[in-house]
Amino acid sequence: MMKKLLTVFVALLAFYLQVFAQQSFKQWAQTPPMGWNSWDCYGSSVTEAEVKANTDYMAANLKKSGWEYIVVDIRWFVENDKAGGYNQTDPRYVMDAYGRYLPATNRFPSAANGVGFKALADYIHSKGLKFGIHIMRGVPKEAVAKKLPIKGTQITADQIYTTEMQCTWLRDNYTIVADKPGAQEYYNSIMELYASWGVDFIKIDDLSRPYHQGEIELIRKAIDKTGRPIVLSTSPGETPVEKADHVSTHANMWRMVDDVWDQWKDVVHLLKVAQGWYPYIKPGTWPDCDMIPLGRISIRGERGGDRQTRLTKDQQYGLMTLFTIFRSPLMFGGDMPSLDPFTLSLLTNKAVLKMHKESTDVKQVFQQDGKVAITSFNPKTGEHYLALFNTINTPGLIEVSVNLPEIGINKKVKITDMWSGKSVGTADKKLTAQVAATSAVLYSLK
């Protein structure tokens, strides 16, 4: 009898330990991650000097406002990539004997002598910040062609791949067949490497359309096995809402849409897609609006030339209002050393960032006829927050109204414009605002 009880106890303990391991990653992102990503301004050709310049700026000017991640985006392992797209004709890959990509030392000199990103990560950590990288899902085609061994096994890369569902827009890797012997071990090996470098954040591309459930599960297990708190971001494009329960138990953040650029139609699309994701805005797991395409972008980017964002100031208020009240992760895409005072003010507004960090119960009130209302609540201060959008690209103001009892307010409240900090009067039972075209207002109600 005692032997049976012991067997049951051991089985239950193993089950609960597994559940705990699967959920503990949520502790690593209790508030939405905030940082900088190199993609919008440097595309696939960012250099170490540019990463360090942005690191220095964040440490000096944004860290005190909660910004902390520095993320090196796509193809850091290609020596001869280009601006305005990808060199897919004759890319020179850098990888080790186990088919794991390494930083190209002509772009990242501190990676010489096999140290990988360790030296750059140490530099970023010395500034009190955290380091992240981007990778594509799958196994490198070159590792498959060369039949490179998977670390710690007798299996080679050509035994774990398929050409099915290969990424359509970048052909560096093949799909990994999740149930093949060696598949888990390959992901274990790359996460082990990244953990040894000191990586704190990893964005993994081409996981969401179609939804690669098997590879996502391999990745989750591999990160957990390292014992290092590495925040996981799945990307892009429109993660299927029917996979919400799965992605929210495997990733800290996931993209809702394809790349967001400096055009108002992308914000309108985000508002529409976001309607399915409000129930999943929770500590540790965050639907992701994508990067913030403000300030100076596309220095060597994928789309268009070197420029200041094409969004008007009204549209920038609209974009930042959506990202912050929705509690999306905030990954700034512009070149930080080039920041102008207006853009810096959007990134450091204390009241808005407090809402982004502390609010709960985010929900859409309505979305119709070009008008959108989103609300949330701060249990620490008793404030209700209300964002009102005019998505219509027709000059002039439109009236947007909300019945206050619909958002849980049954008293007269003072209204504060959160972007300016100015009082704009009071409201009782109903609040009406005049909202400029392609913009938003953001209020604190108390």
Q: Which of 52-61, 170-179, 237-246 has the lowest mean pLDDT?
A: 237-246
Please state the rounded mean pLDDT for residues 272-282: 97
| Per-residue pLDDT, 261 | 97
Q: Residue 328 to residues 43, 49, 274, 291, 410: CA-CA distances in angstroms?
A: 22, 29, 10, 10, 29
Q: Give the residue from 275, 265, 224 showing the smallest Cα distance to 21.
A: 224
Q: Residue 116 to residues 50, 60, 75, 225, 426: CA-CA distances in angstroms?
A: 17, 26, 14, 20, 57
| Per-residue pLDDT, 1 | 55
Residue 277 has φ and ψ, to the nearest 5°, of -110, -5
| Per-residue pLDDT, 22 | 54
Please state the rounded mean pLDDT for residues 144-168: 97
Q: Give the residue from 218, 217, 236, 219 showing the smallest Cα distance to 168.
A: 236
Q: Give pLDDT tens digits for 382-430.
A: 999 999 999 999 999 999 999 999 999 999 999 999 999 999 999 999 9
Cβ atoms of residues 105 and 31 within 8 Å: no
**Helical pair 313-325 and 264-273, crossing angle rounded to 10 deg:** 20
CA distance 373 to 397: 16
| CA–CA–CA angle 84, 120, 290 (5° rounding) | 45
| Adjacent-strand bridge partners of 432 | 401
Q: Hey, what are 241's tokens?
A: 């809402």
pTM of the model: 0.94
pLDDT higher at 284 or 2: 284
The contacts of residue 135 (CB under 8 Å, 6+ apart) are 101, 190, 202, 203, 204, 205
Residue 72 reports pLDDT greater than 50: yes
Residue 197 reports pLDDT greater than 70: yes
Residue 187 reports pLDDT greater than 70: yes
Q: Which of 83-92, 127-136, 185-194 has the lowest mean pLDDT?
A: 83-92
| C-alpha Rg value of the chain to the nearest Å | 23
Output the average pLDDT for the chain: 95
Q: Give the residue from 129, 152, 156 showing the smallest Cα distance to 51.
A: 129
Q: Give pLDDT tens digits for 343-376.
A: 999 999 999 999 999 999 999 999 999 999 999 9
Compute the Cα dihedral for 164, 170, 173, 179 and give only its sign: negative
The residue type of 330 is: L
SS3 string, 135-196, reads EECCEEHHHHHCCCECCCCCCEHHHCEECCCCCCCCCCEEEECCCCCCHHHHHHHHHHHHHH
> Which strands form 253-255's sheet, in the order they lie side by side?
286-288, 253-255, 231-234, 201-205, 130-136, 69-72, 34-37, 330-332
> Which strands form 439-445's sheet, in the order they lie side by side?
360-368, 371-378, 383-390, 439-445, 413-417, 423-427
Cβ atoms of residues 309 and 334 within 8 Å: yes
| Per-residue pLDDT, 236 | 80
| CA–CA–CA angle 194, 222, 92 (5° rounding) | 45
Residue bearing tokens 């949520």: 26
First-last CA distance in the chain: 62
Residue 10 reports pLDDT greater than 80: no
